[in-house]
Amino acid sequence: MEMPLWWIPFILPAIWAWVALIVSFVGGWWRLGREYRADSEPSGDRRKIRSATFEWMMNYNNVLTVWVSPDGMYLRTMFLFRLFHPTLFIPWRDIGDIRVEKVLLWKCLRCRLGRPPNGVRVQFPLDLLEAMREHLVRAGVEIGGASAG
């Protein structure tokens, strides 16, 4: 029995939506979105095509734009990935457990976005720390880990 092809335009968007929901929920973006949904358009030093790994190894490879502003950090996914991924604004005071760690051969920035116990563990490329450092220090947020200084 041959399957009719008319259902393909309906099933593919449904699968895309289901995957976006699962990644957002498992990785923690959904949780952050409930409390840290951005109320305004992002501003500050924009870093396009960034990557990050959220909880449970949910990778956002080259689909993030990060804005570093004096008040906090904005995170937004590329258009195709915005379903269940609202733009986030995390104030500096709600970013913690910041440390530099070596993962295999590379150093990375690991931190908690959001207040405990609901914070989400995230790993960013280390070069983002340099953009954030001045604002974190001004906000009184400690930076730990090897070679953090």
Q: How confident is the model at residue 125 (pLDDT cuts 50, 70, 90)?
A: very high
**Under 8 Å between Cβ of 126 and 107:** yes
Q: What per-residue string of b and e applies to 66-75 under the rule 16 or more CB within 10 Å gives b?
A: bbbbeebbbb
Average pLDDT on 80-96 reads 95
Cβ-proximal residues to 108 (8 Å cutoff; 6+ apart), any chain: 100, 101, 102, 123, 124, 125, 126
Residue 4 main-chain phi, psi, to 5 deg: -70, 145
In order of 13, 30, 109, the CA distances from 35 in angstroms are 27, 9, 23
Would you say residue 148 has pLDDT above 80? no
Residue 146 main-chain phi, psi, to 5 deg: -65, 135
Cβ-proximal residues to 34 (8 Å cutoff; 6+ apart), any chain: none
Average pLDDT on 84-113 reads 93
Lowest mean pLDDT among 4-13, 38-47, 63-72, 138-147: 138-147
Would you say residue 105 has pLDDT above 90? no
Would you say residue 144 has pLDDT above 70? yes
* Residue 38 DSSP class: -
Would you say residue 3 has pLDDT above 80? no
Give the global pTM.
0.88
Would you say residue 81 has pLDDT above 60? yes
pLDDT score for 102 = 87
What are the chain's domains?
A: 8-145 (2.30.29.30)
